[in-house]
Amino acid sequence: MPLIQAPIKDIQFISEQVLDLDSHYKKLPKHNDMDAETFETIVDEAAKFLYEYAGPLNRNSDEQGCSIKDGHVTTPDGFVELYKNYCESGWASLDGNPEFDGQGLPYWLSVIMGELNSYFCPGWSNYAGLTHGVKEMIEHHGNEEMKQMFLAKLTTGEWAGTMCLTEPHCGTDLGLLNTAAQPIGDDMYALNGTKIFITSGDHDLTDNIIHLVLARLPDAPKGTKGISLFAVPKILDSERNNAWPASIEHKMGLHGSATCVMNFDGAKGYLVGKPNKGLNLMFSMMNGARLNTGIQGLSVSSASYLGALEYAKDRLQMRSLTGAKYPDKVADPIIVHPDVRKMLLTQKSISEGCRVLSYFTTQQIEITKYSDNEEDRARADAMVVILTPIVKAFITETALEVTNLGIQVYGGHGYIAEHGMEQLHRDAKIFTLYEGTTGIQALDLLGRKIMQYNHGSLGPIADVVYEFIDNNSDNPYSSELKKYMQQWQEITQTVMKKSMQNMDEMGAASVDYLMYSGYVLLAYFWAQTYQSAEKGGRFGQSFYNGKMKTCEFYYKRILPRADLHVETMLSGSESLMQMTEDEF
């Protein structure tokens, strides 16, 4: 796949016109000086930097991958120089606290930076992204000594970070973890155990790595209530700590990202927060982590669409069914064929709709972070808890479809590595697994968020959509959107009532419920996009016409998928649960 510029125009349009960036920041005292022009300049410069430095490394990083020798991991050629330039140019510290050498810019810019990192080189993107999460954890929950020791170097990227959660026997069920932490005096602990699937567990980009490790203290209760969190440096007091990579995983994709098995053999670390509250602390990071994973899915979807679009305009094959459209050429470009257009429009409507969904969620997270209005913060938080599992699971599941279509547009050439489309599909798969599988996200959405916390209500997200419908009755999609919103509320009540009789009903319906929710939310965001595009603006009429026609395609060709999800989620759990194990 040729190196294609990032979709800056779409990023700008959504930020400035659809989601009204200027009005958003005027309500946030910490960033009320941020305007669209400054925002756009930063995003544009970031895209130029990554186009020049990260994009050219993508294919080689996939082919070369990472290697390990004597407990030291080496990243693909060019990553060390890229990381050095990235940090020295200030991209690592965008939204960092100025007290710790950060630039104090809005979180949204950091999210878009993550999107661009994944767009140009998915295998590279995790190194910077994980460090950001570790920095936030220590800033919010570390003691003063820990902050002074770690935060400045994490903020600027001089040091990196990881999250060491799962173990070979427990997967997502962290209540089963065995890694032990023993007090050794001076507020230090010795950790012993093995962690798996540790992204960026070791690498040669930084001199030090701060591992956030879940472990049990000697007197800890069993299960999830007995888990504590520790910060374990790779280098401690100028010496190598006993936290070593035993191996690196051989993965389906994302080969440039070092995924390690980590052994902690008496490794020294510091307790973060209170004893036995480690899982609570990790959940405080989940909104950002799930959003970032969804953003990675969005990035590869966008890259696949733009690559397929460029190819479809150039590839000559057959004549249009209604007669030659380019009679001066030996054949017409494949973009004239209805099936190719269906694939391209599916890619476009999903990837661009998901961009609005993820940016809207980012705005709500910013309100929880920066607003001085308690009511606004509570409302935004109520939306974030509903949106984050949808962002994570829906965007990453549809990324598999979008990247698969990218291969299909290329035909046989899409299956060949040199064109890059198959890499995007392989890279996309892990995003459905990071931060909990789609099934885990679906149970979180329906079981914890909708049924337990909201008692069957969709919360303020429904208020936002109905407000749009009421204020835009002339929008050609408002009435259909209203029908789906009413249906969403009705099936929520239906599934909840069935689940109260039999909890297997919730498990059987949950993934369909999540996907249904995603399609309905994209219907709202496309109606909102149509409303903004209809007004026109500085991006050119063809751009706005394209948005309005894509909205029509979404409502006619994609949104009807929601009805199938209703039919399957209401079909009950019996067809799933009636078979005995030996009948499989």
**Positions marked active-site:** 435
Q: Which DSSP string corresponds to 249-282? A: ---SS-TTS-EEEEEEEEEEEEEESSTT-HHHHH
Tokens of 113: 């930076």
Reduced to 3 states (helix: H, G, I; strand: E, B; else coil), residue 74 is: strand
Buried b (16+ CB within 10 A) or exposed e, 548-562: bebbebbbeebbeeb
Q: How many CB atoms lie within 10 A of CB 448?
A: 13
Q: Which amino acid is at 21?
A: L
Which long-range contacts (C-beta less than 8 Å, at least 24 apart) are formed by 316-321?
none
* 382: region left, alpha or beta (phi > 0 left; psi from -120 to 50 alpha): alpha
Residue found by looking up tokens 């050429």 in the block: 329
Residue 462 and residue 485 in contact, taking contact as beta carbons nearer than 8 Å:
yes
Q: Are the beta carbons of 549 and 429 closer than 8 angstroms?
A: no
- What residues does 199 pair with on adjacent strands? 259
Compute the distance between CA of residue 515 and CA of residue 523 in angstroms, rounded to an integer.
Answer: 12
- Count of all residues that appear for the chain in the document: 584
Identify the residue whose tokens are 């999460």. 133
The answer to whether 372 and 380 have CB atoms below 8 angstroms apart is no
Instruction: Count Cα neighbours of 563 within 13 Å in the Cβ-side half-sphere.
Output: 8
* Structure tokens belonging to residue 56: 């050219």
Distance CA 123, CA 137 (A): 24
DSSP alpha helices (H): ranges in 209-337? 278-284, 286-314
Q: Which amino acid is at 15?
A: S
Coil vs helix vs strand at 193: strand
CB atoms inside a 10 Å sphere around CB 507? 18
CA-based radius of gyration for the chain: 24
Give the separation between CA 191 and CA 269, rounded to whole angstroms. 7
Locate 280 and state its tokens. 């609570």
Sign of the CA dihedral with 485 first, then 489, 492, and 498 last: negative
CB 390 within 8 A of CB 379: no
Q: CB under 8 Å to 518, separation ≥6 — which residues?
A: 357, 390, 393, 394, 395, 398
| DSSP-based three-state secondary structure for 7 | coil
Q: What is the DSSP letter of 20?
A: -
